Structure 1
């Protein structure tokens, strides 16, 4: 097993709120962050539904103009979340100057600067018009390169591009770095842009819900009347740390990351697999040294798509039917936060453990044949949580599962 890995700081920028207290309240009250964006409809989307994520208002008090110019939208989200995570962890500029800290973030697109660059080139036919920042905004590694520059991080530094499992894989890989003694502390997380350019190709696939008359009821994980997912975005950041290192510096320990499991389906590029889901969960539990009976709560990946929810429900049924673990998908309130989802849901799970409740799977009104019989809760349940499992699955058959312990 190697060294124990704990969470000592968290930050979040999401449609549920931009502080941990706001997000905790939203989760506990079952308050959705989904709304209707008219700009998407004007742009040509068939669905204008999305998570409503506020835009950070960065000024020279936060970052100098040169640095701000190189920040993509998702990097701005990630900066806000990471700054809060370091603050909660008690990690200041002096600490970062004298210690090696790594950074592994999940991000799998940076569409806005690419499209804006193409528009300028089409109109001006002069690359000099693109400006300084576009190159740093347009790369998938935009989040990592900016965070490591801003916070002067000198440890491991790379981006995980693994579709909707990116955030979970970043946590798992950060945990492995610390376990093996290669790093004492790693900033991990996930970021997802929420501009109108980012998800047009998903809309083209017919993947989005069109229940636009009732935005907060559009995301319906596991419900038989679901008609597609709702895109969302933002960023989540977690400070992972070696347990002994955290204790030695007097840090407050929020939770332990004790299991990471992964798999690849090896099938169709957009086809889920109950077998792949099950293997990732089994590996995570084996890595943590726990069984299905030890799990108090499962934050399901369940995005509200007919096929994806079906396969995950089958996998959950094979492992947890008849067990005590409560199940919900926070995507019923957030929509699908895509590249950030695995990281934000680790934050959501940790907040639930800290405050003793399970967030509801809102809009779960009519189970289908696969979800019927699963212990899915449509309402908030106040109960102690000690061990939770969080699932993330993505296009290309990439699967990740995490086990967190209070």
Structure 2
């Protein structure tokens, strides 16, 4: 088996597309949530909150031909991949186009404007909004396919369309592909574009925040006074390589991936199950050959929903006890769905390497039903750890856990 390292990282979020900018926002306690007055027309939608990327446009060097097949979600994924490849020193390198590099990437759904175009055909019998690329922009594996085609990659494509675990499954499955010698390099992550339809999904479950006039006060993961999640958008991608491949080309190494666990609850489509969440974390620890005491920090899923917060923290306490430090970056960026696992993996590595860990914003009083843990609040924390865990949990009872090791 091969050791797997991270040699490139890239992302785009509502708080920026580089770590110094994002870290500065974390340290200043700024969140990206705003009131979406354009959603007022959806009169039965309760929430008006989201964390959009307000300034993103496709880079000017992208061609019209390249853009034809990409909706916004694919553009976010490709842009994050481009940043990650440049960070890894591989952008424009012909070696990535010989089959050595593959893609593992996903999103909750393709671009919804194209979904609407097909709906218009079914409902009204008109096809004037459809063209040869409509399905390509809509299809569940649009992010993975577009990343592969944009960079002329000929390795395996692993689509991970699993809602909130799309990004973390992408990284985990890419890790396994390299570990078992099937690929030397992988681009791995996920993306999501903002759409009120996704807010409506959670609205129907009474799971969205309705602090519509005070967006800076929400979401509130793990807090007794939380009132639900906020939808965001973004994209995150990592470049993974076998250690020997990275060392042979003299690559800078950000971190090592040492463990991955993934399973399913097998009980309920939307109600999380603490027992199987715990097993996913234990699987990651076993995969890494580590005891629970080795982990210094857990990057929690932290959606700010009652069932989710309680289940994941009880599971985390069951593995680590009350000593474990935990926080959630969804308090700043909202829930970026298919992107969250990739963005939070990126943040976990950056925090490992900077010896500073971001607190959970708006966490004032921990819900007494949550598991007893060391909830990170206030100004964050300066600490040095060798290992960090990043966890994500999705509809369908999908659980993922990744463990990153700080590179010496």
TM-score under structure 2 normalisation? 0.94
Cα–Cα, structure 1 residues 315 and 121, in superposed 2: closer, same or farther, change >3 Å?
closer
Structure 1 SS opposite 2:396: helix
Distance 1:327 1:92 in 2: 35
Distance 2:97 2:169 in 1: 27
Where does residue 161 of structure 2 map in the other structure?
161
Cα–Cα, structure 1 residues 241 and 214, in superposed 2: closer, same or farther, change >3 Å?
same
Superposed CA RMSD: 1.7
Aligned 1:204-353 pairs, distance under 5 A: 204-323=204-323, 325-353=324-352
Where does structure 2 lack aligned partners over 5 or more consecutive residues?
A: none
Aligned 1:112-123 pairs, distance under 5 A: 112-119=113-120
Range 31-40 or range 134-143, more displaced: 31-40
Structure 2 SS opposite 1:76: helix
Q: CA deviation at 1:120?
A: 6.2
Where does structure 1 lack aligned partners over 5 or more consecutive residues?
A: none
Mapped contact 2:314–2:372 kept (Cα < 8 A): no
Mapped contact 1:28–1:357 kept (Cα < 8 A): no
Q: CA deviation at 1:106?
A: 2.0
Q: CA deviation at 1:54?
A: 2.9
Cα–Cα, structure 1 residues 368 and 246, in superposed 2: closer, same or farther, change >3 Å?
same
Where does residue 73 of structure 2 map in the other structure?
74
Distance 1:288 1:112 in 2: 42
Mapped contact 2:35–2:215 kept (Cα < 8 A): yes
Aligned 1:99-248 pairs, distance under 5 A: 100-110=100-110, 111-119=112-120, 125-127=125-127, 129-248=129-248
Distance 2:368 2:170 in 1: 34
Distance 2:20 2:364 in 1: 28
Distance 2:259 2:216 in 1: 33
Distance 1:162 1:121 in 2: 26
Deviations 1:351-391 (A, max 9, x none): 11121111101111111223363100112101113200111
Mapped contact 1:189–1:237 kept (Cα < 8 A): yes
Deviations 1:75-103 (A, max 9, x none): 01111111000000000223323452100
Q: CA deviation at 1:187?
A: 0.2
Structure 1 SS opposite 2:256: strand
Q: CA deviation at 1:333?
A: 1.2
Aligned 1:365-404 pairs, distance under 5 A: 365-371=364-370, 373-379=372-378, 380-404=380-404
Where does residue 52 of structure 1 map in the other structure?
52
Q: Does 1:22 pair with 2:12?
A: no
Deviations 1:255-306 (A, max 9, x none): 1111001121111111111101100111111111112211111011120001
Q: Does 1:39 pair with 2:34?
A: no
TM-score under structure 1 normalisation? 0.95
Mapped contact 2:98–2:154 kept (Cα < 8 A): no
Range 30-39 or range 396-405, more displaced: 30-39
Q: CA deviation at 1:179?
A: 0.5
Deviations 1:310-368 (A, max 9, x none): 11111122122233x31111111111111111111000101111211111011111112
Structure 2 SS opposite 1:281: helix
Cα–Cα, structure 1 residues 129 and 273, in superposed 2: closer, same or farther, change >3 Å?
closer
Q: CA deviation at 1:32?
A: 1.1
Mapped contact 2:120–2:127 kept (Cα < 8 A): no
Range 174-183 or range 209-218, more displaced: 209-218
Distance 2:317 2:360 in 1: 17
